[in-house]
Amino acid sequence: MNNPGWEEKRPEVIGQRITALIAKLDEHIEDPAVRIELKHALLHLADIKLALNESSIVAVTDHKGIIQYVNDKFCEISKYEREELMGKDHRIINSGYHGKTFMNELWRSIASGSVWRGDIKNRAKDGSYYWVNTTIVPFLNAKGKPYQYLAIRNEVTELKRVQEELQQMMKQVMIVQEEERRRLSRELHDGIGQSLFSLLIGMDKLIQDGSLDDAERLRTSVSHLMEDVRSLAWELRPSVLDDLGVVPAIRTYTDNFTNHYGIGVKLDIHLRRRLGPQEETTIYRIIQEALTNIGKYADVDECCITLSDLPDRIEVNVVDEGKGFQRDSSTKGVGLFSMEERARAIDGQLVVQSQPGQGTKILLIIPKKS
């Protein structure tokens, strides 16, 4: 056995030790009130230990992450015998799902003495995977440095499965939505738009032949209608996004945005390649939604968009120094929900930072696939 001291941490052993301590109270403490108070405290501690071990997956490690104690539920879910876990670190159940950045941030947090909370995907001995909602509590010595970590976990595998299914459904809905927008956009441009253009040519011929002034007025109405159709087709899905990519689409959209709202857009784009169709659509739609919100609510003369192609990720920043807003559940409208779902559908992350009077920053992070 790698760590003989683990036996002293088992709940039944701790319970026996607490019982022995209670028995000794009568021998060494004369004050009855103190004896009663200590007995109650020890019994309360025993109850908490029992409840924790019955309800949660528990592990204790030293400051280096070496496992010193696991309860029965830990063994049950990981499918390892207790003896196989003692003296090992948690790499024994590492699924490989979480990248180095995730694990480094976890260790940086607990090593600094902070409590860490989050969901972790682990792998059992038989190769199966499971998710646990985890809280890691550092125990600090007199110098404020961790000497031990207590990890309390609860299985959330089924919840994660349902979440993943919902995410896949949302992903499919968005794909279907974009395909339908593409179809409608093409029909508006190539069908109705071309028919109106043919009508416009015929009306020009009538005017040249010296027909009545009504023809000119009718031509003007048709011309305006064509502009409306072009605008609607662009809003549904600009053809340049499919034909040339997200960068030309962003430049064209921001030009139209400036003309419509009178708000300047400073572009800082460092992307010299085409991305996948879903990634490009997500970037375009999130920028479109963010600029629409700026035009309606921010009350600014200028905003900034940055698109960066970094070694491990694509980053999109949309920043304004306008009115801002207070982030809470009541401010999470359809637009923000749509942006977050689009980001999740490509395994990305959307971060929104805003405060009243301090502007708004929207950050989209798209990890590169290895």
> pLDDT tens digit string along 78-135?
999 999 999 999 999 999 999 888 999 999 999 999 999 999 999 999 999 999 999 9
Element (H, E) at 149: strand 146-155
Q: Are 357 and 346 in contact (CB under 8 A)?
A: no
Structure-derived torsion over alpha carbons of residues 301, 307, 308, 314, reported in degrees to the nearest 10: 130
Among 307, 303, 298, which residue's Cα sits nearest to residue 319? 303
Share of the chain above pLDDT 70, in %: 74
Three-state DSSP state, 162: helix
pLDDT higher than 80, residue 56:
yes
Q: What is the DSSP letter of 10?
A: S
Which residues are 307's β-sheet partners?
Answer: 269, 316
Look at residue 65 in the predicted model and tell me its pLDDT. 92
Q: What is the pLDDT of residues 239-252, one digit of tens each?
A: 788 889 999 999 99
Cβ neighbours of residue 291 under 8 Å, at least 6 residues apart?
253, 254, 257, 265, 303, 318
Q: What is the pLDDT of residues 15-41, one digit of tens each?
A: 566 666 666 666 666 666 766 666 666
Confidence of residue 7 (pLDDT cuts 50, 70, 90): very low
Tell me if the pTM is above 0.85: no
pLDDT higher than 50, residue 172:
yes
Rounded distance, CA 299 to CA 215, Å? 42
Structure-token pair, residue 92 = 């024994």
Better-scored residue on pLDDT, 361 or 31: 361
Better-scored residue on pLDDT, 338 or 195: 338
Rounded distance, CA 226 to CA 3, Å? 79
pLDDT higher than 80, residue 361:
yes
pLDDT higher than 50, residue 226:
yes
Q: Hey, what amino acid is at 190?
A: D
pLDDT higher than 70, residue 260:
yes
Q: Hey, what amino acid is at 281?
A: T
Task: Return mean pLDDT, the chain.
Answer: 82
